[in-house]
């Protein structure tokens, strides 16, 4: 089986937390890696962002990343990438023609890739599987009041993909419901594949590991630490955590609280300084530390150094950060949205908060930080919970979905294109 995966707007090799790179990058790279280990040949097509990348990057046996030149290497925002869809699709067609590659199936990630895959499906006459990761209608439904809404153009493009893909792969049953509710998707064309986590990398730290992690990060040993990991944008909710920390310290100025925010600004209007200024305005700048995004091998140190990881997103299709934190033995306080109620076992491995009121978040964080016994129990249970989610299992499920799709006959041309003699 040979699969063409398309991830146009962000390469799976990019550092998560920088620009548009995030959970989707982790998802695509890990699923592709484990599919390749199971004998599936995978080529991941992405847009080239610098000339030094090379056209073809060999990741391992059966796995390549192919960088397609479409527009200038730098200077294009994600919002401007629709202007390069034709160039990107053309680049893929040219690559396939030059190298004589044939694919059994196309799997696209995000709506930009989906639009390209929709075209290539009909050129190559192979099935199209699509994973949205996020949806415009859902993001607009859950967005923060100050967040920029997603465009109607994007929503229309997503509707086209829902109508035309052979199968839609989602992370959770909640996503299935979102597709049916907002896009009138046919439930029998939706398949659920739960994402996983790297439980070999993200492991619980010993007391010594925690001490080393805090020393490395310059965190006082006896402080209570809450960490946020992710892109800095309103939708991910770092402002909710900063405001909650201010509320906690207003209630108890002597509280030994430290907040770590690890990530880079993402989006046209996002600025790191906005969040630093917010912390300064609220009088908690001395308790909030901002760290640049870092690779998974270093990210585990942050999880191990934290007492709690906060995930105050306005929506998450699953919540990979929450799962990585739990695999590292750290309880999670998360918003009760999207797939987070599945990623976090409420009352066992963390706490779910209704809404994004900083006072409610302050209550939840305070209660768990002050209850050492419960927090320690949750830390142990979190590791067990995370062990039930593996990328190997995810890839196996996806391979089964591919096999099912390939065993199903692709519909012939729509009837609206049929021409009778009276149309001549």
> Annotation-wise, does 75 bind a ligand?
no
First to last CA, the chain: 42
SS3 content of the chain, % helix, strand, coil (to 5): 45, 15, 35
> Annotation-wise, does 47 bind a ligand?
no
Q: What's the token pair of residue 231?
A: 């892109």
Burial of 130 by CB count in 10 Å (0-12 exposed, 13-18 middle, 19+ buried)? Answer: buried
> Annotation-wise, does 25 bind a ligand?
yes
Residue 320's alpha-carbon distances to 142, 301, 420, in angstroms, are 19, 16, 53
> Annotation-wise, does 236 bind a ligand?
yes
DSSP structure string for 259-317 = EEEE--B-STT--HHHHHHHHHHTT-GGGEEEE----HHHHHHHHHH-SEEEE--S--S
Instruction: Give CA–CA dist 93/62, Å, rounded.
Output: 20
Q: What's the token pair of residue 359?
A: 């006072």
> Annotation-wise, does 424 bind a ligand?
no
Burial of 139 by CB count in 10 Å (0-12 exposed, 13-18 middle, 19+ buried)? Answer: middle
* Residues forming a β-bridge with 109: 131
> Annotation-wise, does 208 bind a ligand?
no
Spell out the residues 6+ positions from residue 59 whose beta carbon is closer than 8 angstroms to its own. Answer: 32, 33, 36, 65
Instruction: Give CA–CA dist 240/361, Å, rounded.
Output: 8
> Annotation-wise, does 20 bind a ligand?
yes
> Annotation-wise, does 213 bind a ligand?
no
> Annotation-wise, does 294 bind a ligand?
yes
Q: What's the token pair of residue 17?
A: 């937390």
Burial of 418 by CB count in 10 Å (0-12 exposed, 13-18 middle, 19+ buried)? Answer: exposed
> Annotation-wise, does 9 bind a ligand?
yes
Q: Within 10 A of 272 (CB to CB), how many other CB atoms are there?
A: 14
Instruction: Give CA–CA dist 217/230, Å, rounded.
Output: 17
Q: Within 10 A of 109 (CB to CB), how many other CB atoms are there?
A: 28
Residue among 299, 321, 302, 318 nearest 310 (CA): 321
> Annotation-wise, does 24 bind a ligand?
yes
> Annotation-wise, does 154 bind a ligand?
yes
Angle ∠(361,313,378) on CA atoms, nearest 5: 60
> Annotation-wise, does 158 bind a ligand?
no
Instruction: Give CA–CA dist 246/331, Å, rounded.
Output: 21
Alpha helices in 100-237 (DSSP H): 111-124, 136-142, 152-164, 173-183, 207-217
> Annotation-wise, does 15 bind a ligand?
yes
> Annotation-wise, does 197 bind a ligand?
no
> Annotation-wise, does 324 bind a ligand?
yes
Which residue numbers belong to the known binding site? 9, 15-16, 20-25, 78, 110, 134, 154, 231, 236, 294, 303-304, 306, 316, 324, 330
Which residue numbers belong to the known binding site for 1D-myo-inositol 3-phosphate? 9, 20-25, 78, 110, 134, 154
Which residue numbers belong to the known binding site for Mg(2+)? 303-304, 306, 330
Which residue numbers belong to the known binding site for UDP-N-acetyl-alpha-D-glucosamine? 15-16, 23, 231, 236, 294, 316, 324
């Amino acid at each position: 089986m040979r699969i063409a995966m398309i991830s146009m707007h962000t390469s799976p090799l990019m550092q998560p937390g920088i620009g548009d790179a995030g959970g989707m990058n982790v998802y695509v790279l890990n699923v592709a890696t484990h599919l390749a280990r199971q004998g599936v040949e995978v080529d991941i097509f992405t847009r080239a962002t610098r000339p030094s990348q090379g056209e073809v990057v060999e990741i391992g046996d059966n796995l390549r990343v192919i960088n397609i030149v479409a527009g200038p290497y730098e200077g294009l925002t994600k919002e401007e990438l629709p202007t390069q869809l034709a160039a990107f699709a053309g680049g893929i067609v040219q690559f396939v023609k030059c190298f004589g590659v044939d694919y059994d199936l196309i799997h696209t990630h995000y709506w930009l890739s989906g639009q390209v895959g929709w075209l290539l499906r009909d050129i190559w006459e192979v099935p199209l599987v699509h994973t949205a990761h996020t949806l415009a209608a859902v993001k607009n439904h859950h967005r923060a009041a100050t967040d920029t809404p997603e465009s109607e153009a994007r929503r229309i493009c997503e509707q086209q993909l829902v109508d035309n893909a052979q199968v839609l792969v989602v992370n959770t049953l909640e996503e299935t419901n979102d597709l049916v509710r907002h896009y009138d998707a046919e439930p029998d064309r939706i398949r659920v594949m739960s994402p996983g986590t790297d439980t070999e990398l993200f492991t619980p730290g010993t007391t010594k590991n925690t001490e080393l992690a805090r020393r490395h990060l310059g965190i006082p040993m006896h402080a209570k630490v809450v960490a946020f990991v992710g892109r800095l944008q309103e939708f991910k909710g770092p402002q909710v955590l900063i405001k909650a920390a201010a509320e906690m310290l207003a209630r108890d100025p002597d509280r030994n609280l430290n907040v770590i925010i690890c990530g880079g600004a993402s989006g046209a209007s996002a600025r790191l300084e906005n969040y630093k200024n917010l912390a300064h305005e609220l009088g908690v700048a001395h308790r909030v530390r901002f760290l640049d995004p870092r690779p998974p091998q270093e990210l585990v140190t942050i999880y191990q150094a934290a007492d709690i990881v906060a995930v105050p997103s306005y929506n998450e299709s699953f919540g990979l950060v929450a799962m990585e934190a739990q695999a590292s033995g750290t309880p999670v306080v998360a918003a009760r949205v999207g797939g987070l109620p599945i990623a976090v076992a409420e009352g066992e491995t963390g706490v779910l908060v209704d809404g994004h009121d900083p006072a409610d978040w302050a209550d939840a964080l305070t209660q768990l930080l002050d209850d050492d016994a419960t927090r320690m129990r949750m830390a142990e249970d979190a590791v067990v919970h995370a062990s039930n989610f593996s990328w190997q299992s995810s890839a196996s499920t996806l391979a089964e979905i591919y096999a099912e799709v390939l065993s199903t006959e692709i519909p012939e041309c729509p009837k609206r294109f049929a021409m009778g003699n009276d149309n001549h």
